[in-house]
Chain A
Amino acid sequence: MTFENTILTLVMFVPLLGAILVALYGRSEDGNSDGIKKLAIGVTVVTFVLSLPLAILFDAKSAGYQFIARAGWIDAAGLKVDYHVGIDGLSLWLVLLTTLIMPIALLASYSAITKRIREYLVLMLILETGMIGVFCALDMFLFYVFWEVMLIPMYLIIGVWGGERRIYASIKFVLYTMIGSLLMLVAIIALYLMHGKATGFYTFDIPLITQSIAAGMLMIPLDTQLWLFGAFAIAFLIKVPLFPFHTWLPDAHVEAPTAGSVILASVLLKMGTYGLMRFNVPMFYEASISLAPIICVFAVFGIVYGALVAMVQPDIKKLVAYSSVSHLGFCVLGIFSLTSMGMQGALYQMLAHGLSTGALFLIIGMIYERRHTRQISEFGGLATPMPQFSTLFMITTFASIGLPLLCGFVGEILVLIGTFTSTTLEGAKWFAAVAATAMVWGAVYMLWMFQRVVMGDVTNPENAKLPDLNLREKVVLVPLVVLMIVMGVYPVFFTKRSQPALDAAIQKSSPVPPQKAQAPARMP
C-alpha cells in the first residue's frame, strides 16, 4: 500500500465515511444542527485537500491511468468484477471539480435547508462518493454501480428538499436517467461477453477492453458497434442533456434546492460528456465517425435552440438551465469533431461550465433567499443595494458568455477550431459556423437578463434595502470567480495535463501504450 495507490480510494470514500459519521452523530429531529453541518463541510474540505495531490503529482506526459488501485471484488460463477480505479488526464480535472464544488454547495445551503438536515447531509456526502466514483472507476461494472449510486441521492434531494413541483421534477429526472442506464447496462454486458468470446478473457476492465479494441484483438463489426454505441450514447446524451432529451433538466433545476442545482449543473451533467469520451469514442471509433454527423446536427441545433429558449424565460433559474443545454451542446460537438482541439475544448468547456454555471446557480440562490422569487421581472437595479454581489455576478456572466481571459472562451474557441478543422466530420465548417453564432446568442440572453436584474433603477421597493453579500456568501463565490479568471488566463496549466489522454482516445492508428497496472500476460 503506497500513497500513490491509496490516495484515490481515500478521496472516494472519505465522504462516505463522513456520511456514516453524520448519520451516527446527528440527531434526526432538528434542534441545533450546526455541529453536523460543520462536520459535513469539514469532510468535504478534507476531501478537497486530499484531492489536491492528484493534480500536483500527476504526470502530465503520460496518457495512461495514474494513482491506480486494484483489487478483486466478485469472482464467482464466471463473473469477474474488479475494484479498479485510477485517473487519467480526462478524469483528473473532473474529480477536482467535484471535490471543489461539494464544500461550496454545502456552504451555500448552510441556512437554506431547514428540514431533515441530517438526511440531507448524508445524501450529499453519498452523492459525492458516487460522483467521484464514476470518474475514477476503471471497471465497467463498478462504473455502473457508482452511476446508479449517484442517481438516488439526487432523486431524493430534488424530491424532498425541492420546490413546489418537486415530485414531478424528481420522477421525470429518475425516469429519464433510468431508461438511459438500463440501455447502458445491456451494452456493458454485451461488451463483457464479446470481449470474453474474442480473447477468452472475460473482463469489465475499461482500459483492457479499450486496449483490446485498439490493438485489434477485439474486432467489433460496424453494425454491432452502432448498436453498442447507441446504447451507451443514449444513456450519456440524456445526462448531457442533448436536445431533444433535455426537458428533464429545466424542471429538475427549477425544483432542486440551490445546492442540488449547483451539483447538477457543475458535475452531474458532465457525467454524460465524460461517458462519451471514456466509452463511445475510444471503444466504438468507427461508429463514432459514422454517427458523428447526426449527433452534431442535434448538438448544433441544441446550441442555438437552448440559447433562444433561454432568452425568453421569465424565471432566472430556467434561463440558466436552458443555457446549459446550449453550453453542453458545445461539448458534444467538440467530442464528435474527433480532433485533439475539439476533445480538449469539450473537456475545458465542461470545467468552465462547471464553474460559471455553478456560480450562477449560487447567485440565483442568494437572491432567492433574499426575495423568495426567481422571476426576472421582480428584480431590477440590484447594483445599487448590492454592489459586491453585482460585481461577482458580472464577472460570472461574462465568463458564461465566453469573454476572452475568462474560462468560457478557451473551451468555446477550441471546440470551434477543432470542429472547423475536423477531417472525419462531413460539413465540419458549417457546423462550426453555426455553433459560432452562440457568441451572439449567449450575449443576448445573459446580458438581457443581467440588465433586467442588476442594472437600471430600483423599480421594486422591496429590492431597495437588500443586504449585500455576507462573509459566507463571499467565501462561496470568490474562489469560483478567481478560478474563472485563472482558467481563462493560463489554460496551458490544465490542458497540458489532459492532452495525452485525450489524444490517445482518438488515436486509432497507434494504440494506447500499455498501462502500468495492466496484465496483458493474462490474455491469450
Chain B
Amino acid sequence: MNTTTLLGGIIFAPLIGALVLGLFGKRMNERTVGLIASATVGVSFVLAIIAFTTLLGVAPEGAEGIRRLHNPLFPWIEVGSFKAPFDLVLDPLSALYVVFVTGVGFLIHIFATGYMHGEGGYYRFFCYMNLFMFNMLVLILGSNMLVMFVGWEGVGLCSYLLIGFYFQQQGPAFPNQSAKKAFIVNRIGDVAFAIAIMLVFMKAGSIEFAAVNEWARSLTAAEPMTVAAFGLGGASTIALLMFIGATGKSAQIPLFVWLPDAMAGPTPVSALIHAATMVTAGVYMVARTSEVFVKAPSAMFVVATIGALTALGAATIGLAQWDIKKVLAYSTVSQLGYMFLACGVGAFGAGVFHVVTHAFFKALLFLGSGSVILGMHHEQDMRKMGGLRKFMPITHATMAVGWLAICGFPLLSGFFSKDEILYQTFTTNAFANPVFGKIFWGIGALTAILTAVYMTRLMVLTFWTKERWHDDHGHDHGHADHADDGHGHHGLAKGETPHESPWSMTLPLIVLAIAAAVGGYVGVPNGLGHLVGIENSNMVEHFLEPSVAHVGSHGAVAGHGVEAAAPVAHDATLELGLTAFSILLALGGIGVGFWIFRKNPLLKLPKILEDKWRVDELYEATIIHPIRKLSESILWKAVDVRSIDGLVNAVADGIRGLGGTMRYLQSGLTRSYVAVILLGAACLVGYFLVQGYVK
C-alpha cells in the first residue's frame, strides 16, 4: 500500500483558508482576502499535480491493477462492525477529478477577486468558496461512501450559503428562497444515497469503495434487466438508489428544478459549483461505483433514459430563456444529461471525459457571462444586450471559443468528448436489445443540434446583433422569472456604455479558453487517432480504464480485465461515419441558430418552453401544497390538538379537583413545598453521612 500525506495537504489547504477568512477575514482588506483564498486553492492545485505524477510512478495494486495512493487521516465513525475511517485515496479517477477541480477552481477564485470587488461580505464570500473547495475535494478523495457523503453534504451546504449570499433580497425566486430550495431538493436525493449506503454495508460488509467494487465484481452474473430486479435488494437496487442520489446533486429529472434557481448566486459561484464541479459529483459517484452499475442493467437503462431525456428536455427550455445565466444553467442540466447517458450505456470513461471538457468550456461560458453582466452593470436580460463585441473584445473572443466548444465544433474539446459519447451510445452492448442504443443516440443527436441552436442564439443576442441596451421594450418579465445576480435591477444608465473587465477576470477567461480549445486532445477518440496514425490516442479513457468498469456483450458482464483484453472489434469506419455526422449536426445547429436569430433576435418561442414546461408549478400543486395542507389541517389541528389533546383535556377535566389543589399549591405554598423537598433531601444526605460508605 502506497501511503502519502499529499492528499491531506490537498484538502486542508482550502480548509485552512476558510478558517482564517472566517475568523479574521473581517479585519482584512480585499487584497489580502483574495490572496489567501486564491493561494490556498493554488497550493491544492500544485499538490494535486504532484500527487498525480506520483501516482503514475507507483506500482498497480491487486488483481485489477489499479494504482492507488492512500492517505489515512483519523478514525471517524467506528461502532461494532461499521467502520468509516476518514481516509483519502487517489486512483486514476480521483486523480483526474482532483486536478481539474483544483485547476478550474483556482482560475475561478482569481476571477472572483475581480468580480466581487467592492461587494459587502467579500471575506464571507471567499470563506465559503474555500470551504466549498475543501468539501469538494473530500467528496472526490474520500476512500469510503460515508466520507464521500461528508463532502457530498458539505458542497450542498456551501452551495446553500453561496446561492443565498445576497441574503437580504426577498421574493419568490430570490437568493434565500433558491438556496433553501437547492438544499432541500438535494436532500431528497441524499435520502436515497443514505439508504444505498446502508444496503451496501449490508451486502458488501464494508463501505470502502475498493471493497464495494470488489463485491460487485465477485457477483458472477449481472441481474436481469427487469423492473423486478429493483426489488431484489442487490446490485440493481443499490445502483438505482445511488442514481437517485445523483439526480439530486447533478440536477437530473425529476430533481433538476433547483439548478436554474441556483443562478441567483454570484456568477463565479455558478461557474464553479453549478457548472464545473459540484453538479458533476453525481457522475463521479456513478463512475466511482461503476462495478455495481454494470451488474445492474436495469439501473443502467434508467440512468441512460433519464440522462437522455434530461439532455433533451433541458435543451428545449434553454432555447427560450432570456436570462443569459438561465440559458447556461439549462445548458448545464442538458450536458449533465449527456454525461449520464454515457454512464448509462457503460461508457463511464467517456462520461468522465465530458465532465472534464465541460468543466473547461462551461466555466469559461459562465465566467464570460459574468464579465458581460458586470460590463452591463448587472444586467442579465439578453434582450437588453446586443453588439457587445465592440465593447468587450476579450470576453467576446474567449466566449466564442466556449460557444464553439460546446456546440461540438470540430477539433475543440467538446467535439471530442461529445463525439465519443454519441459513438459509444450508438454501439453500446449494455442492453440486450441494440435498438435502445440507437434510440438513445437519436435523442443525443437531436440534443446536439438544439445545443448548437440555443448557444448560437445566446451569442447572437449578446454580442452580434444591434445594441439594444437603451431600448425600452415594455416587455413584462416579472422578477420572479429573473435569476438576478443579486443586484436588484441595474443595467446601464443613459449614456453609459458597456466596459471590458479587468485583467483578474480576463486572464482566467483566456486560460480557460485555451483549455476549452485544446483540452480535448487528451482524449481523441480512437477512430480519429487511427486516422492520423496514433495508437491508443484516447489517453483519458486509457488512463481511467482500470478504475472504471466495462460492459461486456449484451449486459452479461465479464470479469474485470477479461473484456478489456479482448475488446470488441473496433469498427473504425462506423466511428468515422458517426463523427462526420456529428460535425454535420454541430454545423447545422449553428447555421440554424444564425438563420433564425440573426434577423429576428427577439423571436418568441412557445410559452411552455419559456415557462420551463411548468414543472415547478406541477410540483407545487401535486406535492408541496398537499403536504403543507396535510400537516396543518389534519396532523396538527385535527390529530394533535383536537383528538389527542381533546382526550387528554377530557381526562384532566374529570379530575379537576386535583388540578385545583395544584393551582392552590403553586400560588401560596411554593416556599413550603421547597422546604419540604429540602428537608427530605437533607435527611437522605445526612443518613448517608452517618452510615458511611460500606463497600
Contact = CB atoms under 8 A, between A and B. Distances in A.
Contact of B632 (A160, A167, A312): A312
A495 B671 contact: no
Contacts of A52: none
Contact of B190 (A244, A414, A439): A439
Interface in B280-317: none
B615 interface: no
A123 B674 contact: yes
Contacts of A313: 636
A50 B642 CA distance: 47
Given A311-B628, A339-B80, A455-B167, A439 B673 contact: no
B644 A159 contact: no
Interface string A321-348: 0000000000000000001110011000
Contacts of B194: 413, 416, 436, 439
Contact of A160 (B153, B670, B684): B670
Contacts of A25: none
A312 B694 contact: no
B79 A414 contact: yes
User: Would you call the interface of chain A mostly helix, strand, loop, or mixed?
Assistant: helix
Contacts of B691: 71-73, 83
A364 interface: no
A421 B673 contact: no
Contact of A492 (B78, B631, B655): B78
B1 interface: no
B681 A444 contact: no
Given A126-B677, A309-B640, A416 B177 contact: no
A129 interface: yes
A496 to B, nearest CB: 7
A404 interface: yes
Report which residue of A5, A305, A340, A436 has the largest number of chain B beta carbons within 10 angstroms of its beta carbon. A436
B202 interface: yes
Interface in A138-153: 145, 149, 152-153
Contacts of A145: 684
Contact of B79 (A16, A159, A244, A495): A495
A50 to B, nearest CB: 16
A43 to B, nearest CB: 15
Nearest to B681: A16
A489 B671 CA distance: 46
A451 B177 contact: yes
A381 B168 contact: yes
A247 interface: yes
Interface in A380-437: 381, 383-384, 398, 403-405, 409-410, 413-414, 416-417, 420-421, 429, 432-433, 436-437
A490 interface: yes
Interface stretch (B3-11, B181-189, B468-476, B606-614): B181-189
User: Would you call the interface of chain B mostly helix, strand, loop, or mixed?
Assistant: helix
Report which residue of B80, B194, B201 has the largest number of chain A beta carbons within 10 angstroms of its beta carbon. B80
B432 interface: no
Contacts of A47: none
Nearest to B198: A420
Interface residues of A, number: 91
Interface in B610-645: 627-628, 630-632, 635-636, 639-640, 644-645
A215 interface: no
B21 interface: no
Contact of A308 (B75, B183, B630, B663): B630
Report which residue of B190, B199, B631, B670 has the largest number of chain A beta carbons within 10 angstroms of its beta carbon. B631
A443 B79 contact: no
B146 interface: yes
Given A71-B694, A340-B79, A432 B685 contact: no
Interface stretch (A89-97, A168-176, A185-193, A354-362): A168-176
B82 A341 contact: yes
Given A456-B170, A495-B78, A405 B154 contact: yes
Contacts of B198: 416-417, 420-421, 432
Contacts of A66: none
Interface size class of B (residues with CB under 8 A): 35 or more
Contact of B150 (A172, A405, A417): A405
B387 to A, nearest CB: 35
Contacts of B645: 247
A391 to B, nearest CB: 9
A20 B678 contact: yes
A413 B144 CA distance: 15
A69 B693 contact: yes
Given A126-B678, A309-B636, A440 B191 contact: yes
A511 interface: no
B570 interface: no
A231 interface: no
A16 B663 CA distance: 26
A117 interface: no
A174 B662 contact: yes
A119 interface: yes
B685 A16 contact: yes
A79 interface: no
Contacts of A398: 157
Given A71-B693, A83-B688, A457-B170, A447 B149 contact: no
B79 A5 contact: no
A416 B201 CA distance: 12
A495 B78 CA distance: 8
Interface in B677-695: 677-678, 681-682, 684-685, 687-688, 691-695
Given A126-B681, A171-B659, A417-B197, 8 more contacts: A1-B693, A73-B691, A156-B674, A340-B80, A344-B79, A404-B149, A455-B179, A499-B79
Would you list the 7 A-B pairs with minimal beta carbon distance, nearest first?
A340-B80, A455-B176, A308-B631, A420-B198, A312-B632, A404-B150, A456-B170
13 contacts: A16-B681, A16-B685, A71-B694, A167-B663, A170-B662, A171-B659, A305-B635, A308-B631, A383-B168, A439-B194, A443-B183, A491-B77, A503-B80
Interface of B: 74-82, 146, 149-150, 153-154, 157, 160, 164, 167-170, 176-177, 179-180, 183-184, 187-188, 190-191, 194-195, 197-199, 201-202, 233, 627-628, 630-632, 635-636, 639-640, 644-645, 648, 651-652, 655, 658-659, 662-663, 666, 670-671, 673-674, 677-678, 681-682, 684-685, 687-688, 691-695
